[in-house]
Amino acid sequence: MTRFATLNKPLICLAAGGTGGHVFPAIAVAETLSARGYRTQLFTDKRGAKIATASIQDALSARLGVTVIASASPFQRGIIRRLSALFKLGFGVGQCLLHFCLKRPAAIIGFGGYPSFAPLFAGGLLRVPRVLHEQNAFLGRANHLLARHAGNLALSWEGTRNLPDNIHIEVTGMPVRDVFHQDSVSATSQKPAPAHKGEKLHLAVFGGSQGAAVFASLIPAAIGMLPADIKDRLMITQQARPDQIDALVALYAEMGITATIAPFFADIASHIRQSDLIISRAGASSVAELAALGAPTIFIPFPHAMDDHQTQNAMQMQNLGGGLCLAESGLDAKSLARHLTDLLSDRSALTDMAHKAKQLSRPDAAASITDMVEACIEGNPSSTSPSSNQGAAL
């Protein structure tokens, strides 16, 4: 499936894995590229294309095309699965070579995830300038495999681990979509102390683009343990898998709580702005978007994330005082209810967290990455490393 932008301007290709954590920063950079007059083309898998299509704003849709390519992780168990994955990756490289020979991109930007491998490898074969962006505080496998040969790496966090030697590195921050920078002050930081005990409290629960199954049981159980003066004022917005929605709606209805439950929120920024407190996984995109809006957050990192990168992401916010990081292992409804009670009953604590969360925001991140790309296109020596000339591809 391919949908190409048609404006006669230089083309920049973006390559991203099939989750929101990879796709959303790619869209954020595409917005900046579009504002500078470039056409953009996103290469991803079927899941990533679905997320992108649901998230692209109208102003960008004319300039951002989406191409679905074959992809798979080569680190699978079993010889048959590995051979199948290598075949898919090889087929994806062929798809990208055909596209690039026809469309001649000026540069390729990779945002990690295995669907980014084929476009970046194909770009190396054709000697197209390449820049990688790492979202997490630990360099992922795909980016680690490609970084030394691409030669240019943008980081979201200072102190990112697992970096190769002899490459050009810039700490640009994590790019977030324009919608998170519009009036980017959270509702919490604007609200005064409640004038009366009847003021509504808004709690939002997000589990990343794939949802979080454990939240469907843990969160309602914790809500049921809240003091009546908090529970009676509570309104909930929660992301859940489609098969969990009916059960969640019924659970909250039994408690007399108004709840909006959906598998995906295209207007997630507006829900965050309206919320007093967030419960969330700690993917890099989620952390950056919450920081951009100054949203006080309880992070429950996904415990099986590669190299435990979600915990490292969440700790960036906790260390600033803008969030709380709770490990899923050992976390029960009673302890979560205690944390919720402490925060929801203390407006000043929420306001302080909101202002500290905002300190982690880097509103110029997408522009900084775009600057790196333009430097590569122009052949600026400072944007390349000695290793980038050792081979065009892996």
Q: Which amino acid is at 340?
A: L
77 appears as a binding residue in the annotation:
no
- Residue 264, pLDDT score: 86
Taking the C-alpha atoms of residue 319 and residue 356, their distance in angstroms, rounded to an integer, is: 10
Band of residue 389 on the pLDDT scale cut at 50, 70, 90 = very low
- Rounded CA Rg of the chain: 22
19 appears as a binding residue in the annotation:
yes
Which of the following CATH numbers is that of domain 182-358: 3.40.50.2000, 3.10.129.10, 2.120.10.30, 3.40.50.720? 3.40.50.2000
Q: What's the whole-number average pLDDT of the chain?
A: 87
- Residue 210, pLDDT score: 57
pLDDT at 209 over 60: no
209 appears as a binding residue in the annotation:
yes
21 appears as a binding residue in the annotation:
yes
Judge whether 17 and 112 are in contact, CB under 8 Å. yes
- Residue 383, pLDDT score: 38
- Residue 190, pLDDT score: 52
281 appears as a binding residue in the annotation:
no
> For the chain, how long is the longest CA-to-CA vector?
67
Q: Which residues contact 113 (CB under 8 A, 6 or more apart)?
A: 16, 17, 18, 19, 22, 44, 48, 140, 142
90 appears as a binding residue in the annotation:
no
160 appears as a binding residue in the annotation:
no
Residue with tokens 């030697």: 165
pLDDT tens by residue, 88-139: 999 999 999 999 999 999 999 999 999 999 999 999 999 999 999 999 988 9
CATH architecture of 2-175+363-389: 3-Layer(aba) Sandwich (3.40)
- Residue 148, pLDDT score: 84
Identical fold between 2-175+363-389 and 182-358 = yes
pLDDT at 172 over 60: yes
Going by their DSSP bridges, the two strands 323-325 and 297-299 should be labelled as parallel
Band of residue 1 on the pLDDT scale cut at 50, 70, 90 = low
What is the residue extent of each domain of the chain? 2-175+363-389, 182-358
